[in-house]
Amino acid sequence: MLTRTFLLLRRRCLIMRQAILLSLIPTLVLAQEDFTRRDRTALLYQTKFVFTPDHCPVVNILIMEGVPSVRFGTDGPIELLPEGEGGPSLRLGSGRVECSATLEGGRPGRIRWWVALARVTGADLDAVRQEQAALEARGFKVRLFERGSVFGFFGKVLDNRVWVLAEDLPHETLEKARARRDVVAAEVRAADVFEEMVERPFGIIRVACPGVNASFPGLVAIAPPPGKTIHVRDVEFGKGFAWHGHEDRSYRGQIYLTADRNGRLAIVNVVDAETLLKGLVPSSPTDEQPVESLTPRDIEVLRLIAQGYTNREIADLLSLSVRTVESHRANIMDKLGLRGRAELVRYAREHGLLD
C-alpha cells in the first residue's frame, strides 16, 4: 500500500531552507536541483523523507488504489510527465481538459516477509548493538533493516528512524512467515511479521485525452497549470462506513498514476509540505475536507448537531461533559472548514450522515 510517514512541520518551508540535512543515506534525501522522475517513482515506495530544491518535504497521499480506471481533468492546459530521467513531457489543451486512464499488463510487486524479533529507536545505536548481540547469543542470525529518516532543523535533530532486527531467514509467502513467527514467539514474545518490497509493481499506464492517446511504462505524473488544481472524478471514500460513496474531488500539487502492490491502478497525490500547509492541515490536501478526516466521536456529535440537539442534550446522550461536546464541535468546524450550525447541517446532509 502506498503510504507515507509525514512529520507535520507547521513552519513554512522558508524556514526549512536553513536546515542542515543529516541524512545517513544521501541518495534518498535529495538537495540538488529538481530530482528526476525516476527518483519520484522511488519516493512512492520508500519511507525516507524526500525534499524539493527549497528543502520542503515532499508528501505522497493515496487517493485510490485497486481501481480499473480513473477520470481526471484541469481548468487549463494539462501536462503529462512520463517516468524516466529527462523524459519528454506532453502539454495538452488550452482550456478545460478532461482525460481518463487505465493500467494494462499489471504485474504485482514481489514481496519477501521476515520475522521481526525486535524494533529499536534509530537514534540509540548502542541499544541496537546490544539487542543484536542478545538475539545472536540465543542462536538467532540477525539481519538489520532501517526505516525512517533523520535530518537537522535549527540545531535540533529530527529522527523518526526505527531499526528492525529480523531473523535472517526470508519467506516468500506471508503464511510461511506467520508460521515461523508463531514458532519464534515461544522465545521472543515481541516477534511479528515484517515485509520488504523486493521488486516494485509495474504496468503500462494508458492515458486518453482529447485528440491524444499515450502509453507510459510504470508511472505518469499529471501536472495542472500553475495555481490550479486537478479534479479527480468518482473518488471513493468512507470504505466500511455508512457514509461510503463516491464524489469528485480537487487536489493541489501533482497526481501520479502508477501500479499498486497488487498490480492494479493507483492514484496518488504528490504535494510539497508548503502547499499542504496552506490552509489544508490537518486533514486532507483537497479543496473540500473529507468526512473521513473526522473521528468516530466527531461523527456522532456532528450527526446529533445536524439533528437539532443542543450541546447539553448531546452531552447527556453520549455521557460527555458539555465542554467536551463544545470541543468536538470546534474541532469538527476546524477540520471541515465550516462556520456555524447551518453549514454543519448542510455538510451532514450532503455526506449522508442523516440517513
130: helix, strand or coil: helix
Q: Is 192 found in the same domain as 155?
A: yes
Residue 298 has what pLDDT?
83
Asked whether residue 6 is assigned to any structural domain, the reply reads: no
Compute how many other C-beta atoms are within 10 angstroms of the C-beta atom of residue 160.
17
- In this structure, the dihedral spanned by the alpha carbons of residues 90, 92, 98 and 101, taken in order and rounded to 10 degrees, is -20
- How many domains does the chain fold into? 3
pLDDT, tens digit, for every residue of 86-143? 456 788 877 889 999 999 999 999 999 999 999 888 778 899 999 999 999 999 999 9
Lowest mean pLDDT among 23-32, 219-228, 286-295: 23-32
Q: Are residues 48 and 58 in the same domain?
A: yes
Domain range for 103: 13-108+201-291
Single out the residue in 199, 231, 254 at which a domain terminates: 199
User: Same domain, yes or no, for 96 and 211?
Assistant: yes
SS3 268: strand
Residue whose cell numbers read 497521499: 61
Which tens digit of pLDDT belongs to each residue from 248-279?
988 888 899 999 989 999 999 887 766 665 54
Same domain, 80 and 167: no
Cα dihedral sign for 297, 334, 249, 58?
A: negative
pLDDT tens-digit readout, 307-324:
888 888 888 888 888 888
CA distance 53 to 6: 18
Distance separating alpha carbons of residues 344 and 162, to the nearest angstrom? 41
pLDDT at 208: 94
Which tens digits make up the pLDDT trace of 61-71? 888 999 999 99
Size (the chain), residues: 355
Residue 38 Cα distances to 81, 87, 205, 220, 339, angstroms? 11, 10, 15, 10, 43
209 and 99 in a single domain? The answer is: yes
194, pLDDT greater than 90 = no
DSSP-derived 3-state class of residue 185: coil
Q: Are 155 and 182 found together in one domain?
A: yes
Q: Does residue 231 share a domain with residue 214?
A: yes
Same domain assignment for residues 104 and 233: yes
Residue 339 belongs to domain with CATH number: 1.10.10.10
Phi, psi of 304, rounded to the nearest 5 degrees: -70, -35
Instruction: For residue 123, give the CATH number of its domain.
Output: 3.30.70
